[in-house]
Structure 1
Amino acid sequence: MSKSLLIISRQAPWSGPGAREALDIALAGGAFDLPIAVLFLDDGVFQLSGTQQPASLQQKDLGANLQALPMFGVEALYVAQRSLEERGLQDHSSSLAFERLDDSSVSALIDRYDLVITL
């Protein structure tokens, strides 16, 4: 039986390789039908913003990777409500379907998974 995996993405898309690596792990696991969820926490919520301009920082856009998650079977997407509020993104909408979680729900989510990777 496969172990379930929660990937917690805490880095902004332009702050280093962590955001891309988190999405790559999710896509790879999804390709093998592993039960995977992704939680966007802290600065990781900036990945959900559609107003990014990665070319100005000589970075690649993560938008295509994010949009590919459901196609690879990674449909359990979560975002920490507090992280959105602290960064002024509480009214943010995204083309991805994700569930907003309060602090207690974030803790409960982490407890539900066998393995947790934080990047």
Structure 2
Amino acid sequence: MRQSLLIISRQSPWSGPSAREALDIALAGGAFDLPIGVLFLDDGVLQLVPVQHAATLRQKDLSANLQALPMFGVEALYVSARSVQERGLDAQALILAAEVLEDDALAALIDRYDQVITL
């Protein structure tokens, strides 16, 4: 039986390699048809902002890779409602269609997965 995996991405796209590493794990697992979910939490929700100025920070833009997640079979995408609200973002304007979850639903989500990786 295949183990399900939840990747919790908590870092902004420009704060270091963690955001890209979380995305790479999700894409690799999806390529092998593993049941994978991705939760964007805390500053991780900033990865979903539509206009990124990555070149200004001498970084690569993650938006194209993020939008490839469904093509790799990673369709279980979640975002913390509190994290979105605290950062003044509009959940409807994010670059991915992700299920917005309140705090009480986050614990239930994590419990549904066999393995959890937090980056």
Please give the TM-score of this superposition, normalised by the length of structure 2.
0.97
Change (3 A) 1:2 1:18: same
Q: Is the 8 A contact 1:14 1:54 kept in 2?
A: yes
The alpha carbon displacement at 1:68 in A equals 0.5
How many residues are paired up? Answer: 119
Residue 117 (structure 2) aligns with: 117
- Which residue of structure 2 lines up, in the alignment, with residue 39 of structure 1? 39
For residues 58 and 7 of structure 2, the distance between their equivalents in structure 1, rounded to whole angstroms, comes to: 26
TM-aligned CA deviation for residue 90 of structure 1: 3.5
Q: Per-residue deviation at 1:92? A: 4.7
Q: CA deviation at 1:35?
A: 0.1
Whether contact under 8 Å (1:81, 1:90) holds in the other structure is: no
SS of the equivalent of 2:37 reads strand
How big is the shift at 1:94? Answer: 2.4
Partner of 1:71: 71
Give me the identity figure in percent.
Answer: 73
Q: Is the 8 A contact 1:49 1:92 kept in 2?
A: no
Using the TM superposition, give the Cα deviation of residue 95 of structure 1 relative to its aligned residue in structure 2, in angstroms: 3.6
Residue ranges of structure 2 left out of the alignment (5+ in a row): none
Q: TM-score, normalised by structure 1?
A: 0.97
Structure 1 residue ranges, 4+ long, deviating more than 4 angstroms after superposition: none
For 1:11-68, what per-residue CA distance to the aligned partner results, in whole angstroms no more than 9, with x for missing partners?
0000000000000000000000000000000000000001210000000000111011
In structure 2, the residue matched to 1:103 is: 103
